Chains A and B, each alone.
Chain A
């Protein structure tokens, strides 16, 4: 089934550890996004990529980095995790940067202790 695959689905992590959340799409979409969703705060954009080889900062980029080496993959890295990064992380894609129809992965639940 075409779509977005995220891994891991759930992870408990000690503070200070490095963590990479993986995201792969097979729809050949140009744009990809990372959101975090927290109770009471809604979905907030962390980083985005309009096309392979380019990335940009969203609303809450601090403490996170991304890369987009090819069309399909868009990993999100937490260099040194902190408890405030406990959240549900969603990867999403759209056919083009200007398209508002986003397709979401199933999410990665991250707990930082």
Chain B
């Protein structure tokens, strides 16, 4: 059973701080990694993806990947109240043969306090 684990939170940070969201995965053969943001009552939307070890930056967001440790994280700099949402980690890997599967973690609820 391939798993993606996230701390369910809630993670509470003050406005302007760095929010750090973490995710571990069990399938060492996983190939690509995604972060989705889901506002309450809304559908998930993709905010970041990363394929290679290291950091990838996009505006206030940085995704970090360490395949040796099977660990992926999302840093949000200068957190804003509008960043308050559930963040879903998703991992793309081979589920057998030529079948590939995107597995989602259960999500971390982030609250940014003004």
A101 at the binding interface (Cβ < 8 Å): yes
A2 at the binding interface (Cβ < 8 Å): no
Q: How far is the CB of B44 from chain A (nearest CB, A)?
A: 5
Chain A residues numbered 32-60 whose CB sits less than 8 Å from any CB in chain B: 40-45, 56
Instruction: Please tell me the number of chain B residues within 8 Å of chain A, measured between CB atoms.
Output: 20
SS of B interface (majority):
strand
Q: Are A42 and B43 in contact (CB under 8 A)?
A: no
Residues of B participating in the A interface, judged by any CB pair closer than 8 Å: 32, 34, 36, 42-46, 49, 88, 90, 92, 99-102, 104-107
Residues of A participating in the B interface, judged by any CB pair closer than 8 Å: 40-45, 56, 90, 97-98, 100-107
Q: Are A101 and B43 in contact (CB under 8 A)?
A: no
Q: How far is the CB of B48 from chain A (nearest CB, A)?
A: 11
Residues of B within 8 A of A45 (CB): 101-102
Residues of B within 8 A of A101 (CB): 34, 46, 49
List 9 additional contacts besides A101-B49, A107-B42; criterion CB under 8 Å: A41-B106, A42-B105, A44-B104, A56-B99, A97-B100, A98-B92, A98-B100, A100-B102, A102-B46
Residues of B within 8 A of A97 (CB): 100
Residues of A within 8 A of B92 (CB): 98, 100
**Could you list 29 A-B pairs, sorted by A, with CB under 8 Å?**
A41-B106, A42-B105, A42-B107, A43-B44, A43-B88, A43-B104, A44-B104, A45-B102, A56-B99, A90-B43, A90-B44, A98-B92, A98-B100, A100-B32, A100-B34, A100-B49, A100-B90, A100-B92, A100-B102, A101-B34, A102-B36, A102-B46, A102-B102, A103-B46, A104-B44, A104-B45, A105-B43, A106-B43, A107-B43
